[in-house]
Chains A and B, each alone.
Chain A
Amino acid sequence: MAVRHPLESDALRGSIDLLVLKALSLAPMHGWGIGLRIQQISRGRLEVNQGSLYPALQRLEHRGDIESAWQSTENNRRARYYTITRQGRKALGEEVDKWKRFADTIALVLES
């Protein structure tokens, strides 16, 4: 299995935030689950460096986009569950719009 180096650019950092919010918009989840969900949603095409999720989660929590609390998993393990806040949903909407416009623009440029 090839080692994927994390892309620590601002662009990726921003997109991790977006991906996390998107993942959490479906249901509250713990860190590992969020990574897994992103992978599933992207059908394996986007493999986030798993550890770098946590600084992103912390950042989002400080920003007030998500909240967290200890809960038990189905197999009765203690895990930190993250929930998206109303502010988080709003931010997600805005970010998604921005991304779409950006992607459209890029596509426009590339296809012309």
Chain B
Amino acid sequence: MSLLKGFAARMRSLFASGASEARMEEEFRFHLTMETERLVALGLPADEAKRRAFVAFGGVDQHREAMRDGRGTRLLGDFLSDVRYALRAMRRSPGFALAVAVTLGVGIGVNGIVFGFVNTLLFRPIPARNADELVGVFTVDTKTGTAGLLAYQDFVDFRDRSGAFAGLAGETGVPLNLVGGSDGSSGSADMVWGGMVTENFFSVLGMRPVIGRLFAENDAPRGGNAFAVLSYESWKQRFHGDSSVVGRVVRLNGAEFTITGVAPPGFKGLRTFGFWPEMWIPVGMHNVIMPGSTNLLEQRGDGWIYVVGRMRPGWTMQRTQRAAGLFASQLATSYPATNATVGVTLLPGASGFDHPAFVKPRVLVLASTMGLFASIVTLLIICANLANMQLARAAARTQEIAIRLSLGCSRGRLARQLLAEALVLAIPGAVLATFVVRLGPWLEQFMMPHLQFRVGLGATSDYRVALFTAGVAILAVGLFGLAPALRASRPRLAPTAANVIGARARGARPRSRMRGLLVVMQLAMSVVLLVGGTLFVRSLVVARGMDVGFDPANRLLLSVNVGLQSYDAARGRRFYDEVLTRTRALPGVVTAAWAFPVPFDTYGRGVGFYVAGAQTNAKDGTIGTDASFVSDGFVKALGLRLQEGRELAAGDTAGAPRVMLVSRSLATRLWPGKNPIGQRARQGSASGPEVLVVGVVGDATFQSLGDRSHDRAYLSIRQSYRDWETLVVHTRAEPTSSLPQIRAIISGLDPTLPTFGVMTMEQSVGSGFATSRMAAGIAGFFAGLALLIAAVGLYAVVAGNVHERTREIGVRLALGSTPAGVLRFIMSGGARLATWGLCIGIVCAVGVARLMAGLLYGLSPSDPLTFALAPAVLVAVVVIATYLPARRAVKLDPIAALRSE
């Protein structure tokens, strides 16, 4: 009991050291007063009594210190003085401190970023209640094993009658024409992706809204529940986080919906890989959202719902799977026409609710594991380098340490001091790392293909990332601080004595060879990365100058989706014609045409052609190719090159014979060695409508510069109607100057029709380069990082060498060696390592460049400029990294050097 009290007293004094100090002073004062009074009472004069009282008390300061020691505040005080000492040392060598901060910060930060991605891939945090009870529910063909999605009627039976789940809900992606985004004006109209969900979706997930409320089953009768729930991001960005958004009415695909609430932050739909829905709408409104989809809720067998199930309390996946499988076989007996081979399969919710046929898992898991491994190895190398540098610095202080040890400084105390120094050095790095980690989401936007809608992993910085990064940081500090601390505090009195005879160098050899090997590896790696990065950057430069086959200058793009406005084909064609006529009449416009997809579009379309006699692997005998659905005048509007035949004309209407243009590549593929003009192909299948080739256009780049294939057919929208098209306007001046007039034309025809994807063709092409730019950026970044790490490593080795050979250098200088000679002698050690690193690196780089060949546009993987530039940069860095410590050797005073150690 009293032990506890004693402990409490100790804690009190530790945490309230101010109070303890005050108590101590008061006790001392009381004591001295009493003693003085006693002495006065014995007859001494007041002054003398006071003096004697002090003498009898002994050194007041000494007692104070003893009490502070006893309170344990000594540790803290020591630590603070260590920190002060370390800060002074840091000010003395800011370059070192900077190197530590940058390499450690980037090293830890990269670990955090990589883990952020891995976290999203492996643990996909969904802000749902008890997320571990959630499973993805998919169909599986009992004959072929092919996975698929549930149909609505089957879903309803599973939900209401199977008893296998505590709750079952579903979601599917739908495109939405949104009008009234932020201020209700038609200018804010946009096409966005939404999630059409069963009414119980949010209640099964157990989510809470940020504001407002989410859907509930009994909100309103189906078809009357025109409600929308916004995603958190959409609310923040499109609606500026305005909380009055609840209750606002927006138009979706032409119908009015009331916003009821905002979903929790971080919720981007169930699927990891899919469009991020901006809002969710109940499936009861399906006929408004997807006009004409009358039998959407009637189907069985093959379906469209991504289903999430909540397992019953205490049930395992296996048990749930068995129950669901049993029910699936009951359905198979009840509905043999549709469900005979429909089984059911469950996937753990943590795997992301993606379609099981989606090829995500192994490759990505492998890639992320490797990424994590690589970044940890990088950090380990960084730590080894920093430890080496600390050792080199500690070596310089051998004398100081030896003296302190012999003066009775405890070894623990010394180790604590060195550790404190490491900590002080590491803190700026750790702070930097927290900023680097935040770059993760920003980096992702470059790594993901640029699309009109947001997709991606949405790497989140949740507690796991924070924990991981903190763990990594602590590990790093421990590694780079503890090793030198342990080594330096080893009693070195004997070796120091031995140094006088100069017998020390031998023992140091294996260690420095190890260090040398590490540096050679680092240099080799940075050569590889430098070459890779330079190749990417050079390729980008070359590619930007490459011919894309069309003219991006002065072209404005603007897309519409009239299908979502419930236009039929006739109305759609009338709309397209009217827009073209009016736009072409604008004064600033050269010409205009409809096309979809346009070059560098977010979307792609394909079509199959049956050509008599042509070889193909497809079961139906067709040959697949990319296709664009275009209006007349598209060749001029896009600035394509018409090589043979004619352009589409206004006369190529629905009633006229079907015609198309083909790219040169497609012409060569379908009719090798023949004149393509006048050739015929059947669209879709051997019995499909016959299409006549009337023209050939030059190959154009439509997707990315890495396009393997330039096969493309250009079909007429008058003959093959499409409800989603992009208006391409060739303007005389700056393209966006015509935008208001074009918008006016469209809203004049249909004020509720949103336009989206508005940009210039040059912007679109530019964003097409984003991925390669990012690849170049990442490669460049890692090349720079590797170079920095290697430079720090080399510096540490050379600096360590200089310290260890101070005596030898002194002897050389004393025997008449010139400073230049010493410089050469020291730098030659570094140069030897650099040569090895360079040679190994070049050999590896040649191999890696070969592997990269497929990613380089218009550049040979053995590009001579690259292979000259990268080593040159490396050599420059090597010279600097060795010169700095070598210079210190030259500046040594020979006498002092001889006396050293």
Contact for B2 among A1, A58, A88, CB less than 8 A: A88
Pairwise interchain contact B9-A62, C-beta atoms closer than 8 A: yes
The answer to whether A58 and B6 touch (CB under 8 A), given A6-B58, A51-B57, A52-B58, is no
A93 to chain B, nearest CB (A): 15
B478 to chain A, nearest CB (A): 31
B832 in the interface, Cβ–Cβ < 8 Å? Answer: no
For the complex, count residues of A whose C-beta is within 8 A of B. Answer: 31
Give Cα A92–Cα B262 distance, bound, in whole angstroms: 71
B584 in the interface, Cβ–Cβ < 8 Å? Answer: no
Give Cα A52–Cα B69 distance, bound, in whole angstroms: 13
B26 to chain A, nearest CB (A): 7
Give Cα A63–Cα B62 distance, bound, in whole angstroms: 22
B121 to chain A, nearest CB (A): 53
Pairwise interchain contact B58-A55, C-beta atoms closer than 8 A: no
Interface 0/1 of A46-69, CB less than 8 Å to B = 000111101100110111110100
Give Cα A106–Cα B448 distance, bound, in whole angstroms: 87
Give Cα A63–Cα B7 distance, bound, in whole angstroms: 7
A10 to chain B, nearest CB (A): 14
Within 8 A of A (CB), among B45-82: 52, 55-60, 62-63, 66-67, 69-71
Residues of A within 8 A of B5 (CB): 64, 67, 85
Closest to A87 in B: B2
Pairwise interchain contact B63-A80, C-beta atoms closer than 8 A: no
The answer to whether A54 and B6 touch (CB under 8 A), given A30-B30, A31-B31, A32-B34, is no
Residues of A within 8 A of B34 (CB): 32-33
The answer to whether A32 and B35 touch (CB under 8 A), given A52-B58, A54-B67, A62-B9, is yes
Pairwise interchain contact A50-B57, C-beta atoms closer than 8 A: yes
Pairwise interchain contact B2-A86, C-beta atoms closer than 8 A: yes
Residues of A within 8 A of B23 (CB): 80
Pairwise interchain contact A79-B30, C-beta atoms closer than 8 A: yes
Closest to B56 in A: A50
B748 to chain A, nearest CB (A): 88
A101 in the interface, Cβ–Cβ < 8 Å? Answer: no
Pairwise interchain contact A62-B6, C-beta atoms closer than 8 A: yes
Pairwise interchain contact A58-B35, C-beta atoms closer than 8 A: no
Residues of B within 8 A of A30 (CB): 27, 30
B855 in the interface, Cβ–Cβ < 8 Å? Answer: no
Residues of A within 8 A of B66 (CB): 52, 54-55
Contact for B31 among A32, A59, A63, A64, CB less than 8 A: A32
Do most interface residues of chain A lie in helix, strand or loop, or is the interface mixed?
Answer: helix
Closest to B23 in A: A80
B25 to chain A, nearest CB (A): 11
B739 to chain A, nearest CB (A): 80
Residues of A within 8 A of B31 (CB): 31-32, 35, 50-51, 54
Within 8 A of A (CB), among B1-25: 1-7, 9-10, 13, 23-24
The answer to whether A55 and B63 touch (CB under 8 A), given A32-B34, A50-B57, A78-B30, is yes
Contact for A50 among B2, B33, B58, B67, CB less than 8 A: B58
Give Cα A61–Cα B34 distance, bound, in whole angstroms: 23
Give Cα A30–Cα B31 distance, bound, in whole angstroms: 9
Give Cα A42–Cα B66 distance, bound, in whole angstroms: 25
The answer to whether A77 and B30 touch (CB under 8 A), given A1-B52, A54-B24, A62-B9, is yes
Residues of B within 8 A of A36 (CB): 38
Closest to A49 in B: B58
Give Cα A85–Cα B8 distance, bound, in whole angstroms: 15
B71 to chain A, nearest CB (A): 7
Give Cα A92–Cα B485 distance, bound, in whole angstroms: 43
B28 in the interface, Cβ–Cβ < 8 Å? Answer: yes
B29 to chain A, nearest CB (A): 10
Pairwise interchain contact A64-B58, C-beta atoms closer than 8 A: no
Within 8 A of B (CB), among A17-44: 30-33, 35-36
Residues of A within 8 A of B13 (CB): 58
Pairwise interchain contact B10-A62, C-beta atoms closer than 8 A: yes
Pairwise interchain contact A52-B63, C-beta atoms closer than 8 A: yes
Residues of B within 8 A of A87 (CB): 1-3
The answer to whether A51 and B24 touch (CB under 8 A), given A31-B30, A67-B5, is no
Contact for A63 among B6, B26, B38, B55, CB less than 8 A: B6
Pairwise interchain contact B35-A85, C-beta atoms closer than 8 A: no
The answer to whether A61 and B57 touch (CB under 8 A), given A54-B24, A78-B30, is no
Interface 0/1 of A69-112, CB less than 8 Å to B = 00000000111100001111000000000000000000000000
Closest to B66 in A: A55
The answer to whether A55 and B30 touch (CB under 8 A), given A65-B2, A67-B5, is no
Residues of A within 8 A of B55 (CB): 1, 3
Closest to B20 in A: A58
Residues of A within 8 A of B38 (CB): 36
Closest to B4 in A: A64
Interface centre among B2, B5, B62, B69 (most CB of A within 10 A): B2
Pairwise interchain contact B62-A62, C-beta atoms closer than 8 A: no
Pairwise interchain contact A51-B30, C-beta atoms closer than 8 A: no
Residues of B within 8 A of A33 (CB): 34
Closest to B11 in A: A62
Residues of B within 8 A of A58 (CB): 13, 67, 70-71
Give Cα A30–Cα B6 distance, bound, in whole angstroms: 18
Residues of B within 8 A of A86 (CB): 2
The answer to whether A67 and B30 touch (CB under 8 A), given A51-B57, A54-B67, A59-B70, is no
Contact for A51 among B1, B4, B58, CB less than 8 A: B58
Give Cα A33–Cα B1 distance, bound, in whole angstroms: 27
Contact for A80 among B27, B52, B57, B59, CB less than 8 A: B27
B505 to chain A, nearest CB (A): 44
Pairwise interchain contact B63-A51, C-beta atoms closer than 8 A: yes
Give Cα A86–Cα B2 distance, bound, in whole angstroms: 8
The answer to whether A64 and B67 touch (CB under 8 A), given A1-B52, A31-B30, A54-B28, is no
B333 to chain A, nearest CB (A): 78
Give Cα A51–Cα B25 distance, bound, in whole angstroms: 12
Pairwise interchain contact B35-A50, C-beta atoms closer than 8 A: yes
Give Cα A52–Cα B62 distance, bound, in whole angstroms: 9
A96 to chain B, nearest CB (A): 19
Pairwise interchain contact A85-B30, C-beta atoms closer than 8 A: no
Closest to A36 in B: B38
The answer to whether A67 and B28 touch (CB under 8 A), given A55-B70, A61-B9, is no
Contact for A54 among B9, B27, B59, CB less than 8 A: B27
Residues of A within 8 A of B70 (CB): 55, 58-59, 62
Give Cα A34–Cα B6 distance, bound, in whole angstroms: 20
A30 to chain B, nearest CB (A): 7
Give Cα A62–Cα B10 distance, bound, in whole angstroms: 6
Pairwise interchain contact A78-B26, C-beta atoms closer than 8 A: yes
Give Cα A70–Cα B735 distance, bound, in whole angstroms: 87
Give Cα A45–Cα B3 distance, bound, in whole angstroms: 33
Residues of A within 8 A of B60 (CB): 51
Task: Enumerate the 9 nearest inter-chain pairs by beta-carbon distance, A residue then B residue, closest first.
Answer: A64-B6, A64-B2, A51-B63, A55-B66, A51-B58, A85-B2, A51-B57, A32-B31, A32-B34
Q: List 10 A-B residue pairs with CB atoms under 8 Å apart, sorted by A's residue number.
A: A36-B38, A51-B63, A52-B66, A54-B27, A54-B67, A63-B3, A67-B2, A79-B27, A79-B30, A87-B1
Q: Residues of A with Cβ closer than 8 Å to B? A: 1, 3, 6, 30-33, 35-36, 49-52, 54-55, 58-59, 61-65, 67, 77-80, 85-88
Q: A79-B27, A87-B2 are in contact. List 15 more A-B contacts (CB 8 A).
A: A1-B55, A32-B30, A50-B31, A51-B28, A51-B57, A51-B59, A51-B63, A54-B66, A55-B66, A58-B71, A64-B4, A65-B2, A77-B30, A79-B30, A85-B2
